[in-house]
Structure 1
Amino acid sequence: MLSTTGSEAYGYPLLIRHLLVNVADQSDAEIVSGDLRFSYRDFVDRVTRLAGLLAARGVRAGDTVAVMDWDSHRYLECYFAIPMMGAILQTVNVRLSPAQIDFTLRQSGAAFLLHHADFTHLCDQLLPGLPQIGGVIVMEGAADEDGYEALIAATSPDFAFADFDENAIATTFHTTGTTGDPKQVFFSHRQLVLHAITLAATLANQPDGQGLRRTNVYMPMTPMFHVHAWGMPYAATMLGVKQVYPGRYDPATLLALKQREDVDFSHCVPTILRMLLDAARGERLAPWTFVIGGAPLPLALAQEAAAAGITTLVGYGMSETGPIITLARSAPEDIAGRCRAGFPALLVQARIDTAHGGELLLRAPWLTQGYATQADSDALWAGGWMHTGDVGAVDPDGALRIVDRLKDIIKTGGEWVSSVDLEDLLVAQPGIAEAAVIGIPDTKWGERPAAFLVASQGAQPPDPDQLCAALEHHVTSGRISRYAIPERLLMVDALPRTSVGKIDKKALRLLLAE
């Protein structure tokens, strides 16, 4: 027979502040940012002071506090202090256009703003049209007597955090699609805590050298404004690992921090990995594990990284998924196996909707429940599953592969051609650093592939006839159909990208139309 609950039993809501419960007592690691380095005990103290500072400036539970900063200790403190006091953290994508930033601040109803001094001119332009923002703090370095560091030091460390409903909204940000206005998504305390625990457990279950342990040194290379830097700062803080925050992504700075601080775990989009390898100029970078997301990881790039001592593994997710859904793993020598989307994380349900083009559908306890508009939310969750817009397939070992975006897959000659597969084959050719494939209308075949190519650093542009001949070999072997041979091959200096580094295929279609 079940017993009744004790009259004074603690319900223990899953709140972000509970990620910090033991870390100050159990971790002797440091948090490094610019010229500053401090302990986790100092970090908890600083988080408490920031909450007190914001409360003194009028921020109350339920208010939205917007942040515009580079990857820093300040941002990490905002990740915790703002939601811990019951307010909502809005991570502003500083790479959006001024009009889009204005839209995101307006739609979120931001009541307070913290911004780096680099964005002062932009904020001075926007703030007169945003009267709902009632207060501003300019984030500066430690040497600025009127800046963030001085304000934190002068604030009492006695702010008392209260319990509240774990389903309260903790964070909000806007997706970075290539069409229409950015869409606002929301995440609750419960969702973010479950995501952090699951991410930590999934990484702990990885083979040696493919995960994150307490002894690792973590440095993000995904902007902290983008999907909570893939949720990694929450997990890394909960685990008490050494963290290194690099500010802006300058390749020389990133490589210097890797050497000086013994960084061995990071995450980024393929573009950043390409940038680092070019800057390293053959330097040995082992040990360094990279989770790669945001775009497909070409096998040729993963092999080049391996030659430099970098272990790459793909993680799959979206802005709407918080983001981690799958993580690749394989034997050390199986580089191709780690270029797949990988295996569903703990608590994740994934299925392929074969009746509707093979779309990947998801369920997990941390997926956003919707957007700011009801119609968009209903479409996202039609049938009780989150619709990803990605075409997926499952390998015999249970690993997920992303075949393409539904909107990017090319329908030609009665067959479907994966732009992802074709891009991977093109990047594997000598002299090709990057490739992007789109479908162009064709009166006879419906669509035909067109490829945009970027030459490798210092290499001569490849001969189009030789490229087509190389692809014909893959037709003969059965890897691709004859319809996949591109109708056009265009060399470009660089590929257009979204604000988070994804290739902007809408811009490529417009470029080709022009």
Structure 2
Amino acid sequence: MAARLIQPTPSAYGFPLLIKNLLRTPLIYSPDQEIIYRDQARFTYRQFGERVCRLASGLESLGVGPGATVAVMDWDSHRYLECFFAVPSMGAVLHTINIRLSPEQLIYTINHAEDDVILVNEEFLPMLEAVKDQFSTVKKIVLISDTKTTPQTTVPIDVEYEALLAGAAPTYDFPDLDENTMATTFYTTGTTGLPKGVFFSHRQLVLHTYAVITNMSGFANQANVNSADVYMPITPMFHVHAWGMPYVMTLLGAKQVYPGRYEPEMLLKLKLQEKVTFSHCVPTILHMLVSSPAVQKLDLSGWKVVIGGSALPRGLCKAALDLKINVYTGYGMSETCPVLTLAMLKPEMLDWDAEEQIKIRCRTGLPATNVLLEVRDANGKALPNDGKSTGEVVVRTPWLTQGYVKDPEKSEALWADGWLHTGDIGFIDELGYLQITDRLKDVIKTGGEWVSSLELEDIISRHPAVSEVAVIGVADEKWGERPVALVVPKPDQVAGFQEEEIKQFVAKFADDGVLPKYGVPDRVVKVDALPKTSVGKLNKKEMRKQFQG
């Protein structure tokens, strides 16, 4: 007997999941709450709602309609948040451009996404000047300016952002769209080949928003987030919608603080002045903050910070907790919208001591609501949740990109066997927590055995002289590959830093059975800094290129 489908009444309305409706709730519950940009602008949600309508009206006057693509090049700002709502709610596609792309990558993404209009901050005009003669679809350029001056540029500017809004209607009738309408697109840079475009629908972004709220607000945990929080992103809004958190915090009607360019002094000023309680960033940003001498004198208690993009080493976690920063891990990818897991402590863990909690906070996390996540071996067989069976992480959720833009071959590889393949290696423990142990491309194979670069980094990070660390595999005639640790010492440890001491420190973990003896690095190299990608992750491809010899 087949399952029975609902037969709706002919007059019944099938309410679609649309981004425009996420803004209705705060306009009812908290219309006078504030949205802040640096120390330059403050708006209530009521004013913000009107600006979203004005932006849509202004873009329509420039020829933007359903199916058009509007690109944005800006620092994190209230303007970016306005674009998050206005552009997709019109039925257009929002293209969030990575402002750290090379000229070749930049023009490729602009033309590949078929951008019709580009909103560009004056600071990024030189980037457009270098490629403007190669535009294939761009029709209009809107200038974003904090200085309110006319820049000297060869880029043809059609209108300035605030002037566009000032001359536009304060109301806009956003249409009811099919919830599967494309809402956003952006490009993953990776470390090889041309950037790959991912895309997300209204339905996917709304469901992602609901799932994140459920997990961060609905369950008892160490870092509950709700409408009383003050939110400041420290993950670029061009990168996976700032992890989707601006949609989450807008729906909650929370106070939001957008810092513009990430400058340590401004971030700390806003944190203290606006009483920020919730942020998210990559480990390198957290490392920058906790390493700042000025931070040691500040009260950072009550600041909940989610770390993603790379593993959170236990040493860095402890340094943050020592400063009373309530830090823990989140996990996802550009292809996953992004949130898949969050390292939430279960209620019975809230009374654990700090060392025991750190183990959980640095786990990759528990699957979010509506995330089906498995670890599979090379033959595609699901492995048990025993904390030791390691394989590739594959996922299914309602908000995964359904492919790469105009790239059916890579799309099929991404979705082999109907599961999205993350390219990450890991295990799931008996309590249900995922632990990523490495990227497929970064795992070190020595003498036929795998060594986790992330596990080695986690161990080395606990040495009191270590500020930052990255572990890579380098070619070895006998063993195939051997691990090499690149270490940035703490400033007060540079002069007396001993590479051999780090090797001995790791060897103790091997003696205790935590690490196989073949996992102890052959070499420890003291470096001044570690190469990073455009979104602040460790660039291991560049490291392997530098140290392969």
Q: Which residue of 2 aligns with 1:297?
A: 312
**Matches of 1:478 and 1:301, distance apart in 2:** 23
How does the TM-score come out when normalised to structure 1?
A: 0.97
Tell me if the contact between 2:187 and 2:197 (Cα under 8 Å) persists in the aligned partners. Answer: yes
Matched position secondary structure for 2:530: coil
Shift of 1:125: 2.3
- Structure 2 residues without counterparts, runs of 5 or longer: 151-158, 380-389
Shift of 1:15: 1.0
Matched, 1:231 2:236: no
How does the TM-score come out when normalised to structure 2?
A: 0.91
Shift of 1:144: 5.7
Deviations 1:306-340 (A, max 9, x none): 11110111001000000000000123431221100
Shift of 1:4: 5.0
**Matches of 1:508 and 1:483, distance apart in 2:** 21
Matches within 5 A, 1:30-429: 30-34=34-38, 35-141=40-146, 143=148, 147-279=160-292, 280-282=294-296, 283-330=298-345, 331-332=349-350, 333=354, 334-356=357-379, 358-372=391-405, 373-429=407-463
Q: Which residue of 1 aligns with 2:501?
A: 466
Tell me if the contact between 2:199 and 2:402 (Cα under 8 Å) persists in the aligned partners. Answer: yes
AA paired with 1:57?
Answer: L
Tell me if the contact between 1:141 and 1:149 (Cα under 8 Å) persists in the aligned partners. Answer: no
**Matches of 2:370 and 2:6, distance apart in 1:** 29
The match for 2:28 among 25, 29, 34 is 25
Shift of 1:8: 2.5
**Matches of 1:229 and 1:24, distance apart in 2:** 22
Shift of 1:468: 1.4
Shift of 1:45: 0.7
AA paired with 2:340?
Answer: I
- Structure 1 residues without counterparts, runs of 5 or longer: none
The count of aligned residue pairs is: 514
Q: Which residue of 2 aligns with 1:486?
A: 521
**Matches of 1:4 and 1:408, distance apart in 2:** 51
Q: CA RMSD in A?
A: 1.6
Deviations 1:69-97 (A, max 9, x none): 00000000001100000100000000111
Matched position secondary structure for 1:120: helix
Shift of 1:6: 3.0
Matched, 1:503 2:538: yes
Matched, 1:435 2:435: no
AA paired with 1:72?
Answer: S
AA paired with 2:528?
Answer: D
Task: Label 1:424 to 1:2 Cα distance change in 2 as closer, same or farther (>3 A).
Answer: closer
**Matches of 1:341 and 1:208, distance apart in 2:** 16
Residue identity over aligned pairs, in percent, reads: 48
Matched position secondary structure for 2:493: coil
Q: Which residue of 1 aligns with 2:387?
A: none
Shift of 1:281: 3.5
The match for 1:6 among 1, 5, 9 is 9
Deviations 1:353-394 (A, max 9, x none): 023560000000000001120000000000000000001101
Of the structure 1 ranges 148-157 and 217-226, higher mean CA displacement relative to structure 2 is found in 148-157
Deviations 1:11-32 (A, max 9, x none): 1111110111221121132100
Shift of 1:211: 2.7
**Matches of 1:32 and 1:438, distance apart in 2:** 41
Shift of 1:143: 4.7
Task: Label 1:3 to 1:403 Cα distance change in 2 as closer, same or farther (>3 A).
Answer: closer
Q: Which residue of 2 aligns with 1:16?
A: 19
**Matches of 1:254 and 1:281, distance apart in 2:** 11
**Matches of 2:336 and 2:142, distance apart in 1:** 31
**Matches of 1:489 and 1:109, distance apart in 2:** 47
**Matches of 1:199 and 1:293, distance apart in 2:** 14
AA paired with 2:509?
Answer: H
Matched position secondary structure for 2:374: strand
Of the structure 1 ranges 130-139 and 5-14, higher mean CA displacement relative to structure 2 is found in 5-14
Matched position secondary structure for 2:491: coil
AA paired with 1:416?
Answer: W
AA paired with 1:381?
Answer: W
Matched position secondary structure for 1:233: helix
Tell me if the contact between 1:209 and 1:289 (Cα under 8 Å) persists in the aligned partners. Answer: no
Matched position secondary structure for 1:486: coil
Tell me if the contact between 1:389 and 1:406 (Cα under 8 Å) persists in the aligned partners. Answer: yes
